[in-house]
Amino acid sequence: MASYNLKVNGKSVNINVDDDTPLLWVLRDELNLVGTKYGCGIGQCGACTVHLDGVAIRSCSVPISSLEGSNITTIEGLASDKLHPVQDAWKELDVPQCGYCQAGQMMTASSFLKQNPNPNNDDIRNAMNGNLCRCASYNRIEKAVALAAKKMS
């Protein structure tokens, strides 16, 4: 057990957990931020995607011990006073089926669009390829990322 300080969605938090605890379980079990999902635990599905200093990471594969002092954003903190354009686009195109993978999809998309505000279709397909959607809502995810890019420009 050790004590860690980090910023999650703009708020400072202090947690006491084992140092090998993945960020995913810190978020879900300690901080009750359950929007970040568990899908595989080995970095293969993207359901657990959050931002570390604005960049998408797989929270299931990052132990808390490497995150002291870092700045984390989860799906619960993606919107500011209004929805993030990615969330807007997701809503407008009615993307989700079961919805379980979608937080991870949106976190990947929002980080990607920050790096590449003007993506073409291949860019989008490459960027989103690491996020599984078992319901196969891929067509709409692809369209929603493009729409979000348009909204952001």
Partner 1 sequence: MKNQNKITFSRRNFIRTSALASGGILIGFNFFTSCKEATAPPVDIAQLNFNDFNAFIKIADNGYVTIFSPNPEIGQGVKTSMPMIIAEELDVPWEHVSVEQGALDTNNFTRQVAGGSQSIRFGWDALRETGATAKQMLVNAAAAKWGIDASSCSASNGVITSPTGETLGYGDVVNDAAQLEIPENVSLKDKKDYKIIGKDATNVDIDKIISGAPLFGLDYTANDMAYVSVCRPPAFGQKIGSYDDTKTKAVNGVLDVVKFGDKIAVLASNTWAAMKGKKALDVQWTTDETLESTSDHDTKLNAILNGKDLDVRREDGNVKKAFAEADKILERTYESPFLPHNCMEPMNFYANVSNDKVHLVGPIQTPAGTARRIANLISREEKDIHLEMTRMGGGFGRRLYGDFALEAAEISNLTKKPVKVIFSREDDMAAGIYRPAIKYRISASLKDGKVTGYHLKEAAINSNMYGLIPHFFPAGAIENYKVETGNYRSNITTGAWRAPYTNFLAYAEQSFFDELAELLETDPVQLRLDLLKNVKDGEDPNIQYSAKRMTDTIKLAAEKSNWGKTREGVYQGFAAYYSHNTHVAEVVDISLKNGYPSVEKVTVAVDCGIVVNPTGAKNQVEGGVIDGIGHAMYGDFSFENGKPQDVNFNTYRLIRMKETPIVHTYFVENNLSPTGLGEPGLPPAGGALANAIKAATGQLLLKQPFISVLRKHEANLKA
Q: Rule CB under 6 A: is residue 51 a binding residue for ligand FES?
A: no
- We find the least distance from the C-beta atom of residue 94 to ligand FES, in angstroms, to be 11
Site string for ligand FES, 58-97 (x = CB under 6 A): x-x-----------------------------------xx
Query: Which stretch, 10-18, 81-89, 99-107, 110-118, contacts ligand FES (CB under 6 A)?
Result: 99-107
**Taking CB within 5 to 8 Å according to partner kind, which of partner 1, ligand FES, none is near residue 146?**
none
β 49-52/11-17 pair status: unpaired
> Taking a C-beta distance cutoff of 8 angstroms, is the pair 137, 99 a contact?
no
Pick between residue 4 and residue 90 the one whose CB is nearest to ligand FES. 90
* C-alpha to C-alpha distance for 153 and 150, rounded to whole angstroms: 5
Chain positions contacting partner 1, by CB under 8 A: 1, 17-18, 20-22, 25, 28-30, 32-42, 44-45, 47, 74-76, 78-79, 83, 87, 90-91, 94, 96-103, 106, 125-126, 128-142
Applying CB under 6 A, the residues found at the interface with ligand FES are: 38-41, 43-48, 58, 60, 96-102, 133-135, 137
